[in-house]
A and B are shown apart, each in its own frame.
Chain A
Amino acid sequence: MRAKALLVRLMAFALAAGGAAPAGAQPSDAAIKAAFITKFPAFVQGLPDGAPLNVCIVGPDSFGSAIERSAAVRVVVRRLAVVTPTSGCHVVYATGGARQSVRDALAIVAGAPVLTITDGGAGPTRGMIHFVVAGERVRFHVDTLQASRSHLQLSSKLLALALSVRQ
């Protein structure tokens, strides 16, 4: 199992390196998360059609250009201090800034077809998808309750990978 060993080494390197890795090096957690963010919409039904995918980062941004680099689709990353219902975001990644907490940001877009993603590293408040690092791997929790309130359906394939599913 050469590939498996490779992957293990790959991840170990990513953990050790940290931050934005240069192109060709082992991806960091941030790079992995960045790649994940653009892939989640593929497993979500109910998001408005249309390209490019608008990804709004509400709060401090640790990705830099990683999202654009690793995007599986054409993506526009907007970095907002405050999200509003009219911000036109497909995906909101809330890290909780000084002007708008994670909870506030989630509350603003609640009920609108916006996929909300939070990060365990930024606080306990969870969006529809909540990143954690478990067993040296980037994993996520899934909250279908929030999603269904926003008229979004998360794919069962996504649920199958989740650490936990809140229904």
Chain B
Amino acid sequence: MSMMESEALGRVRRTERRQFNIVRFSAVALLALGLILGVLRELDFRAQAADAARVQADIFAGAVSAPLAFEDRPTLLQNLRAFQRDPEIAEAIVYGMGGEQVALRPSSEFQKLPLQPGARRVQGRLVVTRPVIEEGVHLGWVRLVAAPDPLLRVLGRYAAIGLMTVIATLLLWFAGRMALRLEQRAGQLEAANARLQDEMAQRARAEEALRQSQKMEALGQLTGGVAHDFNNLLTVIMGGLETIGRQLAKLPGGPESARMMRARDMALHGAERAATLTQRLLAFSRRQPLQPATLDPNKLVQGMGDLLRRALGETIELETVLTGGAWRIQADAAQLENAILNLAVNARDAMPEGGRLTIETANASLDEAYADKVPEGLTPGQYVMIAVTDTGSGMPPEILNMVFEPFFTTKEVGKGTGLGLSQVYGFVRQSHGHVAIYSEVGVGTTIKIYLPRRLGEEALAEDAQPINTDLLTGDERILLVEDHDDLRSYSAGILRELGYEVCVARDGDAALGCLDSGFVPDLLFTDVILPGGYNGRQLADAVAERKIDVPVLFTTGYTRNAIVHHGRLDPGVDLITKPFTFEQLAEKVRRVLDRAAAEPRTP
């Protein structure tokens, strides 16, 4: 396209140049023609003048022949005087047979010229010498010297040529100026064209980036919505399976119950895998609630050593290169581990023959120039880089753009979910970070995760103290709000089984109804998204307005902004994500209640 345009431009310029050359050539030709015509005209004029002078001289010779021959001086002078009246003749000289000067009008510098018949120009004057001959008898010579041309006549003779020359010169000058201007304009046009091409290319790149991010966004919404519904269902399924397991455990052992237990285990395992997938979908859609904490990236990577070695197998060597003085980061530790594990698994699959996996941490400052090139947008600043490099098969450039899309996989059908890198991408983006991928076919792949540096001096998140599972029971009152019927009864079942007193509600109004009926909860356990006038957040606020100081535990499959701002939980908010197991819920509820008892909230 640009080649064609610049070619067309070049053609136009060539045409212009050709046209200018024609004009220039014409002007030069005109000038030359003018000069030639001028010279010819002058030659013609001189020839005519010479002819005329010769005729004059012949007439003069005829007139003076007899007086010259017979030495009749008065007649000679009389004839001389007749010629004197002709203004075109300045001098008339008569010579005798021997060349002696016989008579002349005023004394002249031309009288000494040798006597050779003919016309010639001497000092710009026409001098004609003719013999005086009668019937073949040579009697003497006459010479006429023409008067110098009057200035006006000379001007008249040369005016046309001069005008022509002036016009041709003007034409040349004008054409030159025009050509210069054309050249300048062509240059400007070319520059403008180049600028336009640049802008178009830039725009095309921006549009491509926008399309890509819109595609990711659309995919995120789609997968997020699906995952949300799946989570509710999976919670119920897993809850049911756990209940079955607990009931089975109470039965006396036997081959049937063992078989049923195996079947339950398999079903639970499948459900857990499904839950992992929906987690990844949510991660990609950036709708999973993150629980960011201040982390030391080196410590996190080191802590994953055993896990990674197990995941990589024996043929792959694991190398960690950890920078000294790595900055702290603010991220969800579980999700970050998940992301690193995903990358490690991908790397392993890219190295079926074995190889080396390098995990590297480094501090990095991403400047504005770098941030501008990130189509999804990135804030320039300080980041910690965690790079995972393999020595595997690598990927060609054309698929690098697609690797973060959900369900995109280079693995054989059935081998991969296509969600691993999607989780990485979604998680990192949700954590205000950036993922860069470098790959070369046959050499390997490096994926770099950049997470923002955490400034501030708060303590690193402590590993949660394990809670004695025997102590997970309680007798506190819990207000349970959940719109999903099966899930509500599942959760209520768990809580009641644990010994808690539960008031269940399917929406905010019903929950307030519980309070109105005199139920004073020790814990509000609510879904974030509720039908009716309240969402989880607003419900918590409404409860607080009634001067009931109560801790809140939220649950959600995915979340919009009700309790999560910019993908992060507000500080002091507790959350349990769907799907959750019996143990998870029991532990979380106990932990929230215990903490509330230890640090009573100020009204």
Contact = CB atoms under 8 A, between A and B. Distances in A.
Interface of A: 3-4, 7, 32, 36, 39, 41-45, 72-73, 137-138, 140, 155, 157-158, 160-161
A3 B135 contact: no
Interface stretch (B82-90, B98-106, B406-414): B98-106
Contacts of B67: 161
Interface string B54-70: 00000000100111011
Contact of A72 (B97, B101, B102, B104): B97
A158 B104 CA distance: 22
A36 B134 CA distance: 13
A36 B139 CA distance: 11
- Majority-rule SS of A interface residues: helix
Nearest to B101: A3
Contacts, number: 55
- Majority-rule SS of B interface residues: mixed
B73 interface: yes
Given A4-B73, A161-B72, A43 B134 contact: yes
Contacts of B139: 39, 42, 72
A154 B138 CA distance: 18
A63 B97 CA distance: 21
B73 A161 contact: no
Contact of A160 (B66, B71, B104, B136): B66
Given A39-B69, A72-B139, A161 B75 contact: yes
A157 B71 contact: no
7 contacts: A3-B101, A39-B137, A42-B134, A158-B66, A161-B66, A161-B70, A161-B75
A65 to B, nearest CB: 18
Contacts of B512: none
A155 B138 contact: no
Contacts of A137: 71
Given A7-B73, A161-B75, A73 B65 contact: no
Contact of A155 (B66, B101, B102): B66
A140 B136 CA distance: 23
Contact of B66 (A32, A41, A43): A43
B395 interface: no
A42 B69 contact: yes
Contacts of B62: 157
A157 B65 contact: yes
B77 interface: yes
B75 A160 contact: yes
A2 to B, nearest CB: 8
Contacts of B73: 4, 7
Sorted nearest first, the 10 A-B pairs with minimum C-beta distance are A157-B66, A42-B134, A42-B137, A39-B69, A42-B135, A161-B72, A72-B137, A161-B66, A73-B137, A7-B73
Contacts of B102: 3
A41 B137 contact: yes
A36 B71 CA distance: 9
Contacts of B97: 72
A32 B65 CA distance: 16
A41 B134 CA distance: 9
Interface in B391-434: none
A24 to B, nearest CB: 12
